[in-house]
Structure 1
């Protein structure tokens, strides 16, 4: 029983640590805030290609989280980076990865693409 409580406590501590670390390194933006700034930034969709092809924010580049470490050179560290995924979890992880490599102006879309009601482009 004590071992179970220790494991549960460790999971809760890890979750809280990640939550507060993420809040410090990436700005979570509402859709209106996101719209007002994403045209002046590097807009990155970190979902997988099939998700991206099903519909994405107009002007977004697809760099899936699974390929981010290999494709980081495609993202300039001196310009703002706006990230989004389906719900916000993967874009948060992408922001942590970028932050560790020296990127500092990081934002992501609150609620992700599933909450987006702006312009969408579909791949044919």
Structure 2
């Protein structure tokens, strides 16, 4: 995990392995900031959708029980959202390095679209 101090806040960049481990232990809330279309086509099972255009740092839950980790397709949008969350007053926030593309490259499970039926289906990676 890499961390960057911004004022009195800490922005963490987690690897896919760190996110997957914390996710499996239910230690984090994983928030997908991609578009609804991207999410519908494929997403990490259980991740919440909060598209970047609708982001409002004031509406985020506290992190007393679970850390918030953002992710997007490549890590660019989630980094921007994490920085916006810090600007909104959060003092510790994280995002996943490499985004969903890195998650798939690491062969982690996700929900994809069965192209034959159009139905969602679990992909084991």
Higher RCO structure, 1 or 2 (CA under 8 Å, sep 6+): 1
On the 8 A contact 1:77/1:104 being kept in 2, the answer is no
Tell me, what secondary structure is at the counterpart of 1:121?
strand
Figure out how many residues of one structure are paired with residues of the other and give that number.
101
List, as ranges, runs of 4+ consecutive aligned residues in structure 1 with deviation greater than 2 Å: 22-25
C-alpha RMSD of matched pairs (Å): 2.0
TM-score, with structure 2 as normaliser: 0.71
Higher normalized strand content (fraction of residues): 2
TM-score, with structure 1 as normaliser: 0.72
Q: Per-residue displacement from partner, 1:29-67 (whole Å, max 9, x unpaired)? A: 111111122332221000010001111111101001110
Distance, in Å, in 1 between the alignment partners of 2:20 and 2:51 is 21
Aligned-pair CA distance for 1:23: 3.2
Q: Per-residue displacement from partner, 1:65-108 (whole Å, max 9, x unpaired)? A: 11002x752x2123411110000010001001111122223111
Which one has the largest radius of gyration? 1
Which consecutive residues of structure 1, in runs of 5 or more, have no partner in the other structure? 1-21
Q: State yes or no: 1:121 paired with 2:117.
A: no
Higher normalized helix content (fraction of residues): 1
Summarize the alignment of residues 71-82 of structure 1 with structure 2, pairs less than 5 Å apart: 72-73=58-59, 75-78=60-63, 79-82=66-69
